[in-house]
Amino acid sequence: MKYCSKIRYESYSTILILKHRLKANEQRPAIEVVTNYGNLPQVECFPGQLNQVFMNILANAIDALHESNIGRSFEGIKANPNRITITTSIADKLVKIAIADNGKGMSEEIKQKIFGHLFTTKSVGNRYRFGVGVARQIIVEKHGKAIAVNSQLGEGTEFVI
């Protein structure tokens, strides 16, 4: 484990990697990314694995936003833009990282299964189909920390690390 003082950098570099998926296209305006970075201390972590967690959660957020756009017009999406919000803070002397989207959210049934081994709602061949289970494994088993999901249908989803 290394001291990781650049959680902000890790999430920013992940956003750069996924930038092509955030850009506007013929079907929708660009996905807005809002960052609310707090002043964080150095923490012990595995930076590469933490980057993988960010990649998996952000890719899932982008997929959720794409799904929530089905049946919506370009103008309708523009009026209520797709948004991903990344917030870092200190809570109870622990670093807290929240990644939220304003997509369609998930049902209670899906929330109960989301961290299950090999659980996915994605099709075979999707590059990120096991992302949330892997994210949980990295955070809980490798780092000894916690990850939770908050979601409401029609409101969006938030992962809190």
Query: Torsion over CA of 109, 129, 68 and 151, rounded to 10 degrees?
Result: 40
pLDDT score for 129: 47
| Helix/strand/coil for 148 | strand
pLDDT score for 114: 84
pLDDT tens digits, the chain, 161 residues: what are they? 665 655 665 666 788 888 999 999 988 999 999 999 888 888 888 888 888 899 989 999 999 999 999 999 999 999 999 999 999 999 888 899 999 999 999 988 888 888 876 666 655 454 544 578 889 999 999 999 999 999 999 899 999 99
- CB proximity list for 28: less than 8 A, separation 6 or greater: 66, 69, 74, 77, 82
- Fold of domain 2-160: Heat Shock Protein 90 (3.30.565)
pLDDT score for 91: 85
pLDDT score for 116: 75
